[in-house]
Amino acid sequence: MVKKIFTFCLFLALGLSAYAQEFSSRMFHKGWLVTEDQDTLRGNIKYDMESNTVQVIAQIEKVNTFSSKKILYFEIYDTILKTYRQFYSIPYQVEANYKTPILFEVLYEGKTSLLARERIVLTTDPYSQAYFNGPASTSEKLVFTYYFVEIDGKMTMYNGKKNHLFEILYKNADKVKAYVRDNRLKTDEMRDIVRITAFYNSL
């Protein structure tokens, strides 16, 4: 399981630039999905974390669309990244007194697990040549938000800042700090955050 997760993160980190305009969420992938009613559907799957929906073509080219409220779990073989990816629908507090299931990807599973959500954003290069002669050049990229989940179910959204990471992993913060420093890890990059999480779980 851990080997699979690290393999995925390596492919993702190296593959984003190579597939600049090809995003996994815009394509169908082979996989399977478990509904809220415990039914299992196998076929081609397309996910959308921004709308928290999943489309499944299970048979006769019929497209079935499920909201995250109707899903427990799904797994795909990502045809862009060439690796398996796992997603869960987990209740999340979107307002002060309101929780609703939304989609999360599992990056590392342990006593302290690491989840992620992704979105596609449009970025502008103000220093491009186009900027001086007209509209600035734009491009799309994936942006990730990370969440740490304790074994008791407590979930914390990580803001990407080093000090916040050490606050979340407080039980062995000094050892985590030394590990990050000694290995020159970046606390805002997926591959390194997964390594840090794995190290924390090993303590």
The pLDDT tens digits of the residues spanning 53-89 come to 999 998 777 899 999 999 999 999 999 999 999 999 9
Residue 20 has a pLDDT of: 42
Residue 87 has a pLDDT of: 98
Q: What is the pTM of this model?
A: 0.82
For residues 196 and 109, the answer to whether their CB atoms sit within 8 Å is: no
Residue 67 has a pLDDT of: 97
Average pLDDT, the chain: 87
pLDDT-based confidence at residue 122 (cuts at 50, 70, 90): confident
What phi and psi values does residue 21 have, to the nearest 5 degrees? -110, 10
Average pLDDT over residues 90-109: 92
Which two structure tokens, joined as six digits, stand for 183?
């290995």
CA angle 46, 47, 51 (to 5 degrees): 135
Residue 186 has a pLDDT of: 96
pLDDT-based confidence at residue 9 (cuts at 50, 70, 90): low
Residue 19 has a pLDDT of: 40
Q: How many Cβ atoms from other residues are within 10 Å of residue 131's Cβ?
A: 13
Closest listed residue to residue 111, CA positions, set 149, 137, 85: 149
pLDDT-based confidence at residue 133 (cuts at 50, 70, 90): low
Indicate whether 147 pLDDT > 70: yes
Residue 129 has a pLDDT of: 56
The pLDDT tens digits of the residues spanning 152-190 come to 999 999 999 999 999 999 999 999 999 999 999 999 999
